[in-house]
Amino acid sequence: MIVRDPPSALTLFFVMQGSIVPKITGRIVGVALLTAIVLLVDQHVIALPRISIAAMGIFGVALSLFLGFRNNAAYDRWWEARKLWGAMIADLRNLGRHLSIFVQGSEDRAEIVSLGVAFSHLHRGCLRDVDVSAEISGWIGETQAKALTAQANPADAALRTMADRIRALAESGAINGFGQMTISDTLSSLARSQAGCERIATTPLPFVYSLMVRRTTYLYCWLLPFALIEATSWFAPVFAAVVAYVFFGLQAVTNELEHPFRNVQNGLPLDAMCRVIEISACEALGREAPPMRTLENYVLT
């Protein structure tokens, strides 16, 4: 995720980091070239049919509405994902406090809190399809790390292991019934957040809707040169390029926000949020906390 102050008006047009321009440059140039070819053919070869600029305006308004609805839907997915990870951070912090209240043994508390940290990393690994064994081995040991990563759903396996530890403490009398119920509610909340993230990751926006928006965008940009022949003359390629930037740009932004867990510049900083969880766990256990992740060229991963 990019974290930086808004650039000045002078640098605004030259900032490429986080911009979708590099991804859609080919389409912008293609539309501009198509417009130039249409203009040359119309002026030097044969008169081409015209399209009413008013009709294209109505077409453009309809397309803008479609793109706006899709962009809102994609941003809702991005923001919901951020809220779910925020809830996970809060729940893991609460877990540390609950263990301090209800569990007397420091080793038992450390084991469960460490499993909570492992859960966050394993969940990140599932969402991004990356190996997190190195990150969790320092918390729960290599043997248990291998056992958890071998499961079909490693993050859920970490929660089950935490539940088993709580049950064992309750059976031994190390934790009372109220404490067991309170910690169980926290684990249930973690499971709900995990399931919410998995729902977002495995259920993209309906393909038929995305297909309709993409087709409409291309049709509009291909028909636009025939409406600009008379209206803008030799400014037509420039005008068409600007329109292509707006519509293809919105489409590209939507595609990126639709998948909030991908390790891209505008994706959620899952690495940084896992580090926040590690810091909270270390402070709860009285250990030296690692440093916060810093920005690298304005990007927080």
Tokens (6 digits) for 77: 């997915």
Does any domain span residue 10?
Answer: no
Mean pLDDT score, 145-165: 94
Q: Give pLDDT tens digits for 186-237.
A: 999 999 999 999 999 998 888 887 888 888 888 888 888 888 877 777 788 8
Q: Which residue has the tokens 């109505």?
A: 58
Write out the residue range of the structural domain in which residue 196 sits: 21-285
Does any domain span residue 12?
Answer: no
* Across 4-8, 17-21, 163-167, least confident range: 4-8
Q: How confident is the model at residue 150 (pLDDT cuts 50, 70, 90)?
A: very high
Does any domain span residue 95?
Answer: yes
Does any domain span residue 261?
Answer: yes
Does any domain span residue 100?
Answer: yes
Q: Give pLDDT tens digits for 28-78.
A: 899 889 888 888 887 878 877 877 777 788 788 888 888 888 888 899 999
Does any domain span residue 5?
Answer: no
Does any domain span residue 16?
Answer: no
Does any domain span residue 14?
Answer: no
What pLDDT is recorded for position 9? Answer: 60
Q: Give pLDDT tens digits for 241-255.
A: 988 888 888 888 888
Number of structural domains found in the chain: 1
Of residues 296 and 119, more confidence is placed in 119
